Amino acid sequence: MERNKVYKNVSLTKFNSWKVGGKAENFVICSDVIFLCQLIKSKKVQRPIKFIGLGSNILVRDNGVKGTTIVMHKGLNNFFKEEELFYSEAGLSCSKFSKLIAKEGYIESAFLSGIPGTIGGALAMNAGCYGSEIWSYVKKVKMINADGDLIERDPNDFKVGYRKIQKKNEAENFVGAWFSFPKGKKVEAEENIRKLLAHRKSTQPLSWPSAGSTFKNPDNNHAAKLIEDCGLKGFMIGDAKISEKHANFIINLGAAKAKDIEDLIKHIKKIVLKEKNIKLIPEVEIIGDV
Ligand SMILES: Cc1cc2nc3c(=O)[nH]c(=O)nc-3n(C[C@H](O)[C@H](O)[C@H](O)COP(=O)(O)OP(=O)(O)OC[C@H]3O[C@@H](n4cnc5c(N)ncnc54)[C@H](O)[C@@H]3O)c2cc1C
Same domain, 182 and 246: no
Catalytic residue annotation? 163, 213, 283
Write the pLDDT tens digit of every residue in 105-142.
999 999 999 999 999 999 999 999 999 999 999 999 99
Q: Which atom of ligand 1 is nearest to the CA of 163?
A: 11
pLDDT at 290 over 90: no
User: Ligand 1 atom closest to Cα of 73?
Assistant: 25
Computed over every residue of the chain, the mean pLDDT equals: 97
DSSP 3-state of 124: helix
**Per-residue pLDDT averaged across 62-66, rounded?**
98
Q: Is residue 218 part of a domain?
A: no
Report the pLDDT value the prediction gives residue 40, as an integer from 0 to 100. Answer: 97
Residue numbers of the domain that contains 21:
7-71
Instruction: Answer yes or no: is 259 within a domain.
Output: yes
Please check whether residues 195 and 106 belong to one and the same domain.
yes
Residue 226 CB: number of other CB atoms within 10 A? 22
Amino acid at 167: K
Q: 155: cis peptide before it, omega within 30°?
A: no
Give the H/E segment covering residue 226: helix 223-229
The mean pLDDT of 22-41, rounded to a whole number, is 97
How many domains does one find in the chain?
3
| Residue 63 and residue 91 share a domain | no
| CATH code for the domain in which residue 34 is found | 3.30.43.10
* 209 part of a folded domain: no
68 touches 25 (CB < 8 A): yes
CA pair distance 202, 85, nearest whole angstrom = 34
131 within a domain of the structure (yes/no): yes
| pLDDT at 43 > cutoff 90 | no
Q: What is the mean pLDDT of residues 245-268?
A: 98
Confidence at residue 74, expressed as pLDDT on a 0 to 100 scale? 86
- Tens-digit pLDDT profile for residues 202-249: 999 999 999 999 999 999 999 999 999 999 999 999 999 999 999 999
How does pLDDT run across 79-115, given as a tens digit for each residue? 999 999 999 999 999 999 999 999 999 999 999 999 9
User: At 71, which amino acid appears?
Assistant: V
CATH of the domain at 148: 3.30.465.10
Chain Cα centroid distance, residue 89: 15
User: pLDDT at residue 44 above 90?
Assistant: no
Provide mean pLDDT across the span 21-32. 97
Domain match, 52 and 92 both: no
- Same domain, yes or no, for 88 and 181? yes
Q: Which residue ranges have their beta carbon within 6 Å of ligand 1?
A: 17, 50-58, 72, 90, 115-118, 120-122, 124-125, 127-129, 163, 173-174, 204, 206, 210-212, 285
Element (H, E) at 193: helix 186-203
Among residues of the chain, what percentage have pLDDT more than 70?
A: 100
